[in-house]
Structure formats: C-alpha cells, structure tokens
Structure 1
Amino acid sequence: MLADDVKLELVNRLKWEGREKIIPYFTRYAEETKWRFALGGVEGRPAMLVFESGTMEKPAYFVLVEWCAGQISAIRDFLFAPMLSKRSSGCN
C-alpha cells in the first residue's frame, strides 16, 4: 500500500522518505500494546486516531494519512507533538 516515494514525518522529530526506510515504522506500532487505533478523520482528512489502551473516549493523538492513486503517499504522525495534535483536532 505504500508508494515507492512515500514520505513520513514524525512531527517535531524526523522526516523520512521511501518505502524501504518507512516499513519499520509500522512494525514498531504493531509491537506496541499501550495504544489502540481507530479509523477517523481530522478536519476532513483520513487519519488514524490513537487512544491510550485504557480508554477509547478521547484520542491521545492522531496520524494523518494521504493517499494518491490507491497508495499511501504521506504520513504525518503527531506522537511527539501532542499539544499540536490537540490544537489541530479542535472544533471546525
């Protein structure tokens, strides 16, 4: 599902580009047990909503996902920018 030239931004941490470099990103999330994920949207854009494992009431943060020609072309993960994530997910 990843485009060859997919871009990943861990907001406030790093930026990577390219499928081979980004594949381990998903492996790390799959191994983590403290979060639960749900599909959702943020300001009309597709997103993975990330919840602390104890509650599904309010997301702890989110990950924006962009698609192009049926492939994931960009990922913006707000794990390291929780305040920006909360501000961005406000009422609109």
Structure 2
Amino acid sequence: MSDGMGWTGKRVKHVDGREGVINRESPGFCFVMLFIIDNAGNTDTVQLNTNGPDTGSAGWSWCYRDAQDGEPEAWGWLGDHNNMAAA
C-alpha cells in the first residue's frame, strides 16, 4: 500500500477483459487521480471527485475484498461515472 489514500496496489479489471493494478495515486484538492497499468503495459486514469461526478476512463472496477474462507472476491465500480449495473 501507499502512504497516501490506500489505492496504490489495488487490483482492477475492465469490462473489456483487461486486468491491472493501480500503480500510483495523486491526491489533490477534493479529488484523487488514480493511475492504472493493465496486464499489457497500457496506462489509464480514473479521477475520483468529492464535489461532482467522477471522471476519466469508465469501465474499471476494483477488488475490495479478496477471496477468503470460501467467499468469492468482491468487486465494485471504480467511479460513479460508469452508469452500469454491478458486475
């Protein structure tokens, strides 16, 4: 994890099948920019905003609970700008 907000190192996946990790976070005033690197080495960004809708690339979700004790992994949308049903 990072010394920041705890996003660095989180596993992510995209609706198109790409998987990756948040490799850097950059907090600002009322937002945090998340830098994603996917399994092919491509980069992407998602910005989480406290005042207004989130921005950046849509379609990413993040693993907020690893599989344990027979329970499956749990994934949530990375940003409210996805406007999609839960995966």
> TM-score, normalising length from structure 2?
0.31
> TM-score, normalising length from structure 1?
0.30
Which structure features the higher share of helix residues?
Answer: 1
Larger relative contact order (Cα-Cα within 8 Å, sequence gap ≥ 6): 1
